[in-house]
Amino acid sequence: MPTTILMFDSGLGGLTVFREVAKARPDARYVYVADDAFFPYGSHGETELVARVGGLMAELIETHRPDLIVIACNTASTLVLPHLRTRFSVPFVGTVPAIKPACVLSRTKRVAVLGTEATVSREYTRALIRDFANGSEVALVGSAQLAAFAEEELNGAPVADQLIAREIAPCFIDAAGRRTDTVVLACTHYPLLLERFTRLAPWPVTFVDPAPAIARRVADLLGPPLSGEPPSPARIAFTSGRVPSLALAAALAHFGMAAAWRADLPMGCDFNAMKTALASSKPNLGGALDGERFTNGAANRSVQIHAAKRKFRPSRLADEVGSAVLRGVWRAAHAASAKRR
């Protein structure tokens, strides 16, 4: 049996971690779950997140039996990871701001930590600075927008340069004859914007991405690869059940997730109606669509999207990525909708 690694994030930022982990263990079977129905995690309280992620993780572990789980999200790692390790026996690898290596690297001893507002405001992050600053002055810079900007970038709708420049500007401090020379990317979404950060920076700095260190930790726990070939393509599931745009499909393919994506359909859903809705949406994925009506006898179904052929085919229920999770999201979404009504 191949080693199964579950990658988990609130959205698409974990792709930057997946890329490095897949290099370290190319022989593993990968399942990536993006909890985009709850994105961004920074807008939710600790109690809410612990309950949310704990519930999802229980279903994912039961469905996929992973050998290791990577929590590719700083917010989830700092708030939820201790609860997950107490509750489940599966080994977890988390993501924390790379403050220690950044302060070692810095020559000017002026470092910035660029994260979400939630990450930079937590005592956990401040404790890392106290323990590992190593004489460096560390500025905490919180952004409420960059994670969403990164998601938009992957969806083919990049925001204007000036919006990104405004978010990263506080990282660059020039005072007392010393400039910031190292910036910690304390959100896994931010390396998705690295090219733009580099181009828009007022002067050259080193951006520290924690993904390679996470990959090394995974390799330490699981050992070296057993072969150089993956047993199957990496698969991704969105808890919102959304259908990726063509731009996002291309971006996912760039990360090695070109095989399939899933969109949740509720019990008794009319597949033909869904097919018509999808065909009329923008960007238009229509043309060669085929399918069948799903009956009320099915507890849960999903659609497998083949971007290359631009087709939608009913897929086998038993082999669905995160089908149990998507059932739960569907129930929760409709309960919330009913409550609003």
The pLDDT of residue 302 is: 32
Average pLDDT for 87-96: 96
Residues 256 and 156 reside in one and the same domain: no
Residues 117, 211: Cα–Cα separation, whole Å: 20
CA angle 46, 11, 247 (to 5 degrees): 160
Residues 87 and 228 reside in one and the same domain: yes
Count of domains observed in the chain = 2
Active-site hit among 103, 171, 187, 269? 187
Would residue 103 show up in a list of annotated catalytic residues for this protein?
Answer: no
**Residue holding tokens 């080693």?**
3
Residues 237 and 89 reside in one and the same domain: yes
Where does a domain end: 209, 238, 273? Answer: 209
Q: Would residue 62 count as lying in a domain? A: yes
Identify the weakest region by mean pLDDT among 21-25, 102-106, 273-277: 273-277
Active-site hit among 73, 103, 171, 269? 73
Q: Yes or no: say if 34 and 237 are a contact pair by the CB < 8 Å rule.
A: yes
Q: Would residue 216 count as lying in a domain? A: no
Q: Would residue 219 count as lying in a domain? A: no
pLDDT at 331 over 60: no
Average pLDDT for 193-218: 96
Token code pair at residue 223: 């050992």
Residues 267 and 245 reside in one and the same domain: yes
The pLDDT of residue 290 is: 29
The pLDDT of residue 172 is: 98
Give φ, ψ of 70 to 5 degrees: -105, 120
Would residue 187 show up in a list of annotated catalytic residues for this protein?
Answer: yes
Token code pair at residue 295: 């009956």
| Nearest alpha-carbon partner for 138 in 176, 184, 174, 96 | 184
The pLDDT of residue 226 is: 82
Query: In this predicted model, which residue has the larger pLDDT, 257 or 51?
Result: 51
Q: Would residue 47 count as lying in a domain? A: yes
pLDDT at 69 over 90: yes
Which domain does 197 fall in, by range? 99-209
Q: Would residue 80 count as lying in a domain? A: yes
Average pLDDT for 49-60: 94
Q: Yes or no: say if 293 and 272 are a contact pair by the CB < 8 Å rule.
A: yes
Residues 145, 150: Cα–Cα separation, whole Å: 9
Residues 70 and 134 reside in one and the same domain: no
At position 120, the amino acid (one-letter code) is V
Report residue 30's pLDDT band, with 50, 70 and 90 as the boundaries.
very high
Mean pLDDT of all residues belonging to the chain: 79
Residues 172 and 265 reside in one and the same domain: no
pLDDT at 313 over 80: no
From residue 319, alpha-carbon distances to 31, 43, 69, 302 in Å are 12, 33, 19, 10
| 113-122, 169-178, 308-317, 319-328: which is most confident | 169-178
Q: Around Cβ 48, how many Cβ atoms within 10 Å?
A: 13
Q: Yes or no: say if 211 and 73 are a contact pair by the CB < 8 Å rule.
A: no
* CATH number of the domain to which 120 belongs: 3.40.50.1860
